[in-house]
């Protein structure tokens, strides 16, 4: 299932890590666009990141300044979103039950422990996510975290963990915690 994040809302929440977000997108784009150097996703706007920004600006017909202004950010983001929609995959979705499964507020399911743990780890990086018990119960604190993510991802704010919400959580976790920028599946079926 593909979804588009509400980037304006998410970008406001990502203020603490804008360089990492930029580096992640540039690194992903370098797989398709060989003119882009690969950059480390380390949060440091160093020479390699500057080079990647300037190369992108040159190829996109933007002023080559090395500064990531609004036009450059939007061009990189839009290019990355287009690439993601063509090559997107949801390897992490495989650990959440199939499409149509929902864990409503007040319900308990053992497999909810994984998303709750992911939220607890992300709580240190995002204002609006609060630590909560990783007990499998979608209690008030857990449901509030789910609603925060659903709002950021442009999904209906139900507080219910479902496949679309899991996809959004997996994506956010991969970018900010795992930083697994080298994992691109060779095929779309089986293990990613």
Give the pLDDT of residue 16. 54
Do 121 and 80 have their domain in common? no
Task: Look at residue 179 in the predicted model and tell me its pLDDT.
Answer: 65
On whether both 30 and 76 belong to a single domain, the answer is yes
Pair (101, 144) in one structural domain: yes
- Domains: count for the chain: 2
Residue 37 domain-assigned (yes or no): yes
Q: Collapse the DSSP code of 103 into the 3-class scheme (helix H, G, I; strand E, B; otherwise coil) and give the result.
A: strand
The parent domain of residue 174 ranges over 92-178
User: Are residues 56 and 106 located together in one domain of the fold?
Assistant: no
Query: Do 12 and 80 belong together in one domain?
Result: yes
Domain boundary among 71, 87, 103: 87
Contact partners, residue 40, CB within 8 Å, separation at least 6: 23, 27, 48
- Domain-located, residue 162: yes
Give the tokens for residue 146.
């789910």
Mean pLDDT in consecutive groups of 10 residues from the start of the chain, 192 residues: 47 63 86 89 89 94 93 89 64 60 92 92 89 95 95 89 86 75 35 28
Distance in angstroms (rounded) separating the CA atoms of residues 89 and 183: 11
Nearest-angstrom CA–CA distance, 182 and 180: 6
- Does this model's pTM top 0.85? My answer is no
* CATH code, 50: 1.10.101
Q: For residue 13, tell me if it sits in a domain.
A: yes
- Where a domain ends, among 87, 112, 135? 87
- Which of 54, 69, 87 is the last residue in one of the domains? 87
Domain membership of residue 191 (yes or no) is: no
């Amino acid at each position: 299932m593909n979804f588009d994040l509400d980037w304006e809302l998410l970008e406001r929440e990502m203020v603490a890590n804008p360089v990492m977000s930029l580096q992640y997108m540039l690194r992903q784009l370098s797989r398709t666009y060989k003119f882009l150097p690969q950059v480390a996703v380390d949060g440091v706007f160093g020479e390699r990141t500057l080079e990647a920004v300037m190369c992108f600006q040159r190829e996109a017909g933007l002023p080559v300044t090395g500064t990531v202004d609004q036009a450059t950010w939007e061009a990189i983001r839009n290019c990355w979103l287009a690439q993601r929609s063509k090559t997107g995959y949801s390897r992490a979705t495989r650990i959440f039950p199939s499409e149509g499964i929902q864990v409503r507020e007040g319900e308990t399911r053992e497999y909810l422990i994984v998303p709750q743990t992911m939220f607890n780890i992300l709580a240190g990086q995002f204002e609006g996510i609060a630590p909560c018990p990783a007990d499998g119960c979608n209690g008030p604190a857990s449901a509030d975290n789910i609603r925060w993510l659903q709002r950021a991802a442009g999904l209906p704010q139900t507080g219910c963990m479902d496949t679309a919400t899991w996809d959004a959580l997996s994506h956010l976790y991969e970018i900010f915690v795992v930083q697994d920028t080298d994992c691109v599946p060779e095929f779309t079926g089986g293990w990613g």
